[in-house]
């Protein structure tokens, strides 16, 4: 076994583990309103695309999340409902952050990141293009 094959083997294991962790976080996000689901599943899909066609196919054909992930992959679509949920989740999380009395720089950093993320989400289409 040469070094290139060893590297590829461990890279695939790393991507599979990271993808599975993202799926787990996405499942947790279904239950917790302040934790997103879709971004973790998109990350999992990217990891599986680089490591396991079987896991990638499983996500793309999932009865609940498959259509959303297929639209993301084909057109980078973020449904309106997901945009609202992300905004609401970030707002709730930010309110909790404010009540925890963090340093000012943390508040500013989190606010800037959340505004950037929301700007990115809003810039994406909400429905796939008509054929």
Residue pair 23/44 in contact by the 8 Å Cβ criterion: yes
- Is residue 35 packed enough to be buried (19+ CB in 10 Å), middle (13-18) or exposed (0-12)? middle
Which comes out higher in pLDDT, residue 85 or 99?
99
Quick one: pLDDT band at residue 49, thresholds 50, 70, 90? very high
Please give the pLDDT value at position 129.
85
Instruction: Give CA–CA dist 66/74, Å, rounded.
Output: 12
6 and 69 in a single domain? The answer is: yes
CA angle 87, 85, 65 (to 5 degrees): 135
Same domain, residue pair 71 and 92: no
Residue with tokens 């309106």: 80
Task: Mention every residue, 6+ apart, whose C-beta is less than 8 A from residue 93.
Answer: 34
Cα–Cα distance measured from residue 79 to residue 71, given in angstroms and rounded to the nearest whole number:
9
Say if residue 1's pLDDT is above 70.
no
pLDDT band at 93 (very low <50, low <70, confident <90, very high): confident
Residues 71 and 82 in one domain: no
110 and 126 both lie in a single domain: yes
Q: Percent of the chain at pLDDT above 70?
A: 97
pLDDT of residue 34: 67
Give how many domains the chain has, as a whole number: 2
Same domain, 54 and 87: no
Looking at the fold, whether 62 and 92 belong to one and the same domain comes out as no
* Residue range 12-48, pLDDT digits in tens: 999 999 999 999 998 898 887 667 788 889 999 999 9
Read off the pTM.
Answer: 0.76
Q: Are residues 62 and 87 in the same domain?
A: no
């Amino acid at each position: 076994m040469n070094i290139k094959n060893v590297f590829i083997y461990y890279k695939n294991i790393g991507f599979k583990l990271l993808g599975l962790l993202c799926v787990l976080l996405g499942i947790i996000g279904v239950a917790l309103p302040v934790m997103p689901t879709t971004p973790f599943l998109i990350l999992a899909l990217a990891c599986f695309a680089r490591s396991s066609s079987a896991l990638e196919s499983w996500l793309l054909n999932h009865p609940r999340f498959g259509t959303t992930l297929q639209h993301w992959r084909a057109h980078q679509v973020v449904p309106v409902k997901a945009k609202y949920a992300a905004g609401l989740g970030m707002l709730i999380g930010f309110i909790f952050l404010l009540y925890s009395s963090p340093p000012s720089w943390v508040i500013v950093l989190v606010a800037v990141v959340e505004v950037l993320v929301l700007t990115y989400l809003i810039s994406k289409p909400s429905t796939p293009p008509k054929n």
